[in-house]
Amino acid sequence: MGYILWIVPIIGILLLTAVKDKKLFPIISVAKASILLIAAIFITRTVMLQGKVSYKNLQGLLYIDSVSIIALDIVVVIGLLSAIYSINYLNLELLHGKIDIKRLKLYYILMDTFIYTMVLALTVNNMGIMWIAIEATTLASAFLVGFYNDKEAIEGTWKYVIICSVGIGVAFLGIILLQLSSIGVLKEANFLQWTNLYENATALKPSILKLAFIFLLVGFGTKAGLAPMHTWLPDAHSQAPSPISALLSGVLLNSAMYGIIRMVSIVNKGLGESIFTGRLLISLGVLSIGTSAIFIITQKDYKRLLAYSSIEHMGIIAIAIGLFTPASIFAALFHMINHSATKAMLFFSSGNILQKYETKDIGKIKNLLKILPVSGFVFFAGIFAIAGTPPFSVFASEFNVILSIFNNHNFILGGVVIGFISIIFVGIAMTLFKMFYGTSPEHLIPGDINIPGEIVMVCMLIFILITGIYMPLQVKGLLLSAEKIIIGG
């Protein structure tokens, strides 16, 4: 069953390259995404019952445990939703003449490759192959970011490729040092397997492990959008087409964070204490939240604002992981799910706004609720959700994070985090509320576009409302078992 995750996307991509009719592209894409979703549901059930999924072939390369399945489910679900949303989004772009059929085909092929590399990164046991997959995500999404081929898109693409490639190179140095620390402890065939590294973590050489962690944190932190390595994020996420922005924000940042989580569990077990990694992660997290607070207040482009909010939430997750208490890791995993859902929903609705108003400037958008009733309402609710208002789910997970900070007696840290989150709330409210007042430009016809996308958005809105109030017992069990794997029981 696990191999379906690896084989089906390849078949989908090959089919896409062969087919010429433009009506078939979205059908193949959505079909592939649905098959992946069904496979993921089956694997989730297996993981919930048995604890992990791993096969003997290829030296146990395919390995899915509770941590992977959480991230994998997010990837697969948001992948399917993006595919559904892109159908009408791209048809409208084709109609307006912004792209042609060749670019449409390129879009679908690259999007499927992008999702495939992320699935690969989350399901392998070998840290080296995980690194290769994460580098491949940068390369697969490079031309997706520069899809519209104008000056700003190309600038965003160049920054994205260069900064992420250098970051990933630094991460590779960390992996080399990780391998160096395990010489003499592990057999050569098992060098970079996560399971083996985790079992023998206490026997690895501590000082090399510390150095490896620093490099890996900087490297994967670049990909995850932690400040001060975040500079590519606002450009890339704002210039990409909206479904791709949703994928980048909601899914890719999670995959990079997943890499950091795997590394943190090895290093903390090896060093026996979590202060070293905790200090680094908490400082990067606070820096991220602070940076995004400063930049959100002065934003003029709503997609860039959403990108900075992604940086903020990744900072919160980093702080939670750095604390390394059971409650904080639970909150971090929960926050990953909530942030992905909410951010994807926001990017979808902002995509509709962009297509209707044809501008990214906040000042030029007025009277949103009249022109786009459903999308506007979803956007309105989403702003509150992402800023952390109850009863939405982001509030629940942020509350859990702050609670765990205070339970750990880090009062100053808690105060700083609350202060920055409040500044961000004020910033988002000040800048984005302008979009709902005023009179709209003359030529715009009120009415919704992209009906399938709207259905997707409303479903996600209901989802984040429910998740904020109620968590099914199985999901809670899954999160708890994931947290046990990370901390080590």
Partner 1 sequence: MENYLAALSLLILFSAFVLMANKRIKSYIATIRVQSIFIAIAVGIEGAKSLKTTGHFDILLVCVLIIAFKVIYIPRLLHRTYGKVEYRVAKDFFLNIPILILICCLLVVFSYFTLSTVEGINTGESNVQMVNSISIVLIGMFFMISRKKAIGQIVGFLVIENGLFVTALFSTKGMPLIIDIGIFIDLITAVMIMGIISFKINEKFDSIDTNKLKNLRG
The residues that touch partner 1, with contacts defined as CB under 8 A, are: 126, 128-129, 132, 135-136, 138-139, 142-143, 146, 149-152, 154-159, 161-162, 165-166, 169-170, 172-173, 176-177, 179-181, 183, 191-192, 205, 207-208, 211, 234-235, 238-239, 295, 298-300, 304
CB-wise, 170 or 365, nearer to partner 1?
170
Residues 28, 31, 37, 42, CA torsion sign = negative
Residue 371's nearest CA partner among 426, 266, 447 is 447
Provide the minimum distance between the beta carbon of 323 and partner 1 in the complex, in angstroms, as a whole number.
Answer: 27
**Residue 469: is it exposed, middle or buried by C-beta count within 10 angstroms (0-12/13-18/19+)?**
exposed
Question: Residue 425, Cβ neighbours under 10 Å: how many?
Answer: 18
CB-wise, 49 or 189, nearer to partner 1?
189
CB-wise, 53 or 307, nearer to partner 1?
307
Provide the minimum distance between the beta carbon of 279 and partner 1 in the complex, in angstroms, as a whole number.
Answer: 18
Residue 12's nearest CA partner among 121, 114, 147 is 114
CB-wise, 263 or 332, nearer to partner 1?
263
One-letter amino acid of 367: N
Report how far residue 137's alpha carbon sits from residue 354's, in angstroms, rounded to the nearest whole number: 26
Provide the minimum distance between the beta carbon of 169 and partner 1 in the complex, in angstroms, as a whole number.
Answer: 5
CB-wise, 196 or 393, nearer to partner 1?
196
Question: Residue 462, Cβ neighbours under 10 Å: how many?
Answer: 10
CB-wise, 279 or 370, nearer to partner 1?
279
Report how far residue 315's alpha carbon sits from residue 309's, in angstroms, rounded to the nearest whole number: 10
Provide the minimum distance between the beta carbon of 172 and partner 1 in the complex, in angstroms, as a whole number.
Answer: 5
Provide the minimum distance between the beta carbon of 149 and partner 1 in the complex, in angstroms, as a whole number.
Answer: 7
**Residue 310: is it exposed, middle or buried by C-beta count within 10 angstroms (0-12/13-18/19+)?**
buried
CB-wise, 3 or 437, nearer to partner 1?
3
Provide the minimum distance between the beta carbon of 440 and partner 1 in the complex, in angstroms, as a whole number.
Answer: 26
CB-wise, 1 or 294, nearer to partner 1?
294
Provide the minimum distance between the beta carbon of 274 and partner 1 in the complex, in angstroms, as a whole number.
Answer: 20
Provide the minimum distance between the beta carbon of 18 and partner 1 in the complex, in angstroms, as a whole number.
Answer: 22
Task: Give yes or no for a contact between 449 and 355, defined as CB atoms under 8 angstroms apart.
Answer: yes
Report how far residue 199's alpha carbon sits from residue 197's, in angstroms, rounded to the nearest whole number: 6
Provide the minimum distance between the beta carbon of 191 and partner 1 in the complex, in angstroms, as a whole number.
Answer: 7
Residue 435's nearest CA partner among 375, 390, 489 is 375
How many residues belong to the chain?
Answer: 489
Report how far residue 421's alpha carbon sits from residue 401's, in angstroms, rounded to the nearest whole number: 12
Task: Give yes or no for a contact between 330 and 399, defined as CB atoms under 8 angstroms apart.
Answer: no
Residue 210's nearest CA partner among 284, 261, 280, 258 is 280
Residue listed under structure tokens 């509350």: 399
- Whole-angstrom CA distances from 371 to 354, 363, 445 are 12, 16, 7
Provide the minimum distance between the beta carbon of 216 and partner 1 in the complex, in angstroms, as a whole number.
Answer: 13
CB-wise, 62 or 177, nearer to partner 1?
177
Tokens, residue 173: 């140095």
Provide the minimum distance between the beta carbon of 124 and partner 1 in the complex, in angstroms, as a whole number.
Answer: 11
CB-wise, 70 or 124, nearer to partner 1?
124
Report how far residue 365's alpha carbon sits from residue 191's, in angstroms, rounded to the nearest whole number: 55
Residue 26 CA from chain centroid, whole number: 23
CB-wise, 28 or 142, nearer to partner 1?
142
Residue 7's nearest CA partner among 116, 118, 126 is 116
Report how far residue 484's alpha carbon sits from residue 489's, in angstroms, rounded to the nearest whole number: 5
CB-wise, 207 or 439, nearer to partner 1?
207
Provide the minimum distance between the beta carbon of 16 and partner 1 in the complex, in angstroms, as a whole number.
Answer: 19
